[in-house]
Amino acid sequence: MSATRMWISAVQSALQLLLQGITERTGATSFVDSSKSPEIALAFGLMRDVDLYVINLLRDPRAVACSWFRKKPDHFAVLRNMRT
C-alpha cells in the first residue's frame, strides 16, 4: 500500500469516528465541512456510506482586494500592553 493510500485510510478512519460522534451526540444526518481541504473532501468521497455534495463558492475578487487593505482589529494589543 502506498503512503498516500495509507494516509487516506487513516484520515477516513478518523473522519468515520468523527461522523459517528457527531451523529450520536446531535442526531444530525447531515453536516457542512468548511475546512476548504480537497484532501478531506477526497476522503469523504471515498467513504461508501457518505453522500458527498461539494459546493465551490467564489468570492468577488474586488472584495478580496479591499479586505487586504482594511485595517483589522488587533485582538492581542491588550495582552501586549498589560503590566505584570
With beta carbons less than 8 A apart as the criterion, state whether 43 and 15 touch.
Answer: yes
Domain span at residue 15 reads 3-80
Reported as a pLDDT band with limits 50, 70 and 90, residue 84 is low
First to last CA, the chain: 55
State how far the Cα of 12 lies from the Cα of 41, in Å rounded to an integer. Answer: 10
Q: What one-character DSSP code corresponds to residue 72?
A: P
What size, in residues, is the chain? 84
**What's the angle, vertex CA 57, arms to CA 54 and CA 60, rounded to 5?**
170
Nearest residue to 9 (alpha-carbon basis) of 53, 39, 30: 39
The model's pLDDT over 10-64, given as tens digits with 9 standing for 90+, comes to 888 898 898 899 989 999 888 888 888 888 888 888 888 888 898 888 889 999 8
Please give the tally of structural domains in the chain: 1
